[in-house]
């Protein structure tokens, strides 16, 4: 008995491999373009009801910190430090999630090691 492949599979040999290679190259090109776009995108987050605001880029670099004067208390530097950390971490999580979602939409949910 001969095994039958579903329609569209087999019979193409080298053509199928070439088509897969073209698709993989397109995905790689799309991911590179998306990465370049995401790296210049800015993400903002705040903590303490907006008392501390930070901006990070898609490259995960902190570019701006705004601190309201009323939260600068020399007797409570720890609180200010906590607010800055909270805002920075939230902005970084937002940037990472955006990159993950973008790459997943390009790859169709495939987990391709080393691609992102």
pLDDT confidence band for 108 (50 / 70 / 90): confident
Query: Which one of 3.30.1310.10, 1.10.490.10, 3.40.50.300, 3.30.2010.10 gives the CATH number of domain 14-107?
Result: 3.30.1310.10
Residue 40: what pLDDT? 93
DSSP state for residue 60 in the 8-state scheme: S
Is the pTM above the cut of 0.75? no
The pLDDT of residue 89 is: 97
Q: What is the pLDDT of residue 76?
A: 92
Return the DSSP state at 1: -
Per-domain boundaries in the chain: 14-107
CA atoms of 113 and 115, how far apart (whole Å): 6
Distance CA 32, CA 76 (A): 45
68 pLDDT more than 90: yes
pLDDT at 107 (0 to 100): 80
Bridge partners of 31, per DSSP, are none
């Amino acid at each position: 008995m001969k095994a039958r492949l579903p329609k569209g599979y087999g019979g193409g040999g080298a053509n199928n491999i070439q088509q897969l290679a073209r698709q993989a190259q397109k995905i790689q090109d799309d991911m590179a373009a998306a990465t370049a776009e995401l790296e210049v995108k800015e993400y903002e987050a705040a903590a303490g009801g907006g008392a501390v605001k930070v901006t990070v880029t898609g490259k995960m670099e902190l570019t701006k910190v705004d601190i309201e004067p009323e939260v600068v208390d020399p007797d409570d530097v720890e609180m200010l430090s906590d607010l800055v950390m909270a805002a920075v971490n939230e902005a970084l999580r937002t940037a990472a999630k955006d990159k993950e979602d973008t790459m997943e939409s390009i790859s169709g949910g495939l987990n391709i090691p080393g691609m992102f």
